[in-house]
Amino acid sequence: MSATRYTYLGPEGTFTEAALRTLPEAATRELVPMVSVPAALDAVRNGEAAAALVPIENSVEGGVTATLDELASGEPLMIYREVVLPIAFALLVRPGTKLSEIKTVTGHPVAQPQVRNWLRAHLPEAVWESAASNADGARLVQEGRFDAAFAGEFAAATYGLEPLVTEIHDAENAETRFVLVGRPARPAAPTGADKTSVVLWLGDDHPGALLELLQEFAVRGVNLMLIQSRPTGAGIGNYCFAVDAEGHIADRRVGEALMGLKRICPKVRFLGSYPRAGVSAEDVRALRRGTSDAEFTAASDWLARVQDGRA
Ligand SMILES: O=C(O)C(=O)Cc1ccccc1
């Protein structure tokens, strides 16, 4: 096991690399670019790396399906940190290329929905073909495979390209969330501003099946932050659900919600409890009156007194 190596969706120059370098510990780690999300995660599974940073969600297109599917299958992995990065694309070209000369464009598959309107307005005839990542697209432009790539402006120098257009983003304040994934271990202690990620498989389909899952959170005052269905591969109509819930598995209401889900779901995969990026415990206390663990514990203590006839 290499305790000092972190992998990430490469090659050099991805937003994923930029997100990884915002983590303090990245300064003392060997950062290794990988050709795909599965490759980055498999390096952790086989002990070649201690952790991998991969994109998991963006504010325009939702979940990054390659990551959600990889975390829902295969040898279990756990999420330990998240990083949220504002995303603005630059159109990277070989020096001297004019906008009128661009016939083919590339970028990560989830980049296209984030620049769709810009493309329609400025390059309506350009043909899009996805690359493994935005920086991989830049590399392919350098090699002459495409005329332009949507990537971070910071990637231009790495691939001898120039940013013909900058600050391209259809949606204001577009963000992408990345997660640092490692082998399963005890989650870090609660911070008061955590989230818990799980993957849930539905049992026999029946009216209200999904509601029964959601109720395990709702009745305990646990707020959901993401729910994304993904095909299980067992045929049309067979789905699992990636769910992010506010709180930490060590919180009674979150732990009891997971116990309830374990009772009603044929399969539950715990992906981790970890600090929410950019949110403090004070923020959470101010927002979630009535659902903090203290209120839940007080109600639980009251029930115990009633059960003992000491109400
Ligand atoms: O990290 C990158 O550059 C990627 O290709 C993944 C990605 C895709 C779209 C927005 C942010 C990150």
Alpha-carbon gap, residue 255 to 54, rounded angstroms: 26
Checking if the pLDDT of 243 tops 90, the result is yes
pLDDT of the residue at 137: 98
Alpha-carbon gap, residue 108 to 176, rounded angstroms: 13
3-class secondary structure, 203? coil
CA angle, residues 178, 69, 49, in degrees to nearest 5? 55
Element (H, E) at 46: none
Angle between helices 65-72 and 37-45 (to 10 degrees): 30
pLDDT of the residue at 287: 77
* C-alpha 54 to ligand 1 mean position (Å): 9
Characterise 283 by phi-psi region: left (phi > 0), alpha (psi -120 to 50), beta (else).
alpha
For the stretch 165-178, pLDDT in tens is: 999 999 989 999 99
Question: Does the C-beta of 217 come closer than 6 Å to ligand 1?
Answer: no
Question: Does the C-beta of 85 come closer than 6 Å to ligand 1?
Answer: no
The amino acid at residue 109 is P
Q: What is the dihedral of CA 51, 52, 57, 60, to 10 degrees?
A: 150
> Which pTM was predicted?
0.93
Q: By the 8 A CB rule, do 224 and 245 touch?
A: yes
For residue 289, name the pLDDT band (cuts at 50, 70, 90): low
Question: Does the C-beta of 135 come closer than 6 Å to ligand 1?
Answer: yes
pLDDT of the residue at 1: 56
177 closest CA partner among 36, 14, 20, 57: 57
Percent of residues, the chain, with pLDDT higher than 70: 97
* C-alpha 306 to ligand 1 mean position (Å): 54
Q: What is the DSSP letter of 110?
A: T
For the stretch 50-89, pLDDT in tens is: 999 999 999 998 899 999 999 999 999 999 999 999 999 9
Question: Does the C-beta of 15 come closer than 6 Å to ligand 1?
Answer: yes
Least confident of 128-137, 153-162, 166-175, 297-306: 297-306
Question: Does the C-beta of 67 come closer than 6 Å to ligand 1?
Answer: no
Of ligand 1's listed atoms, the one at least distance from the Cα of 89 is 10
Identify the residue whose C-alpha is closest to ligand 1 atom 9.
111
> ipTM, 2 decimals?
0.97
Checking if the pLDDT of 216 tops 70, the result is yes
Contacting residues for 44 by C-beta, under 8 A, at least 6 apart: 7, 50, 51, 52, 77, 181, 182, 183
Of ligand 1's listed atoms, the one at least distance from the Cα of 108 is 5
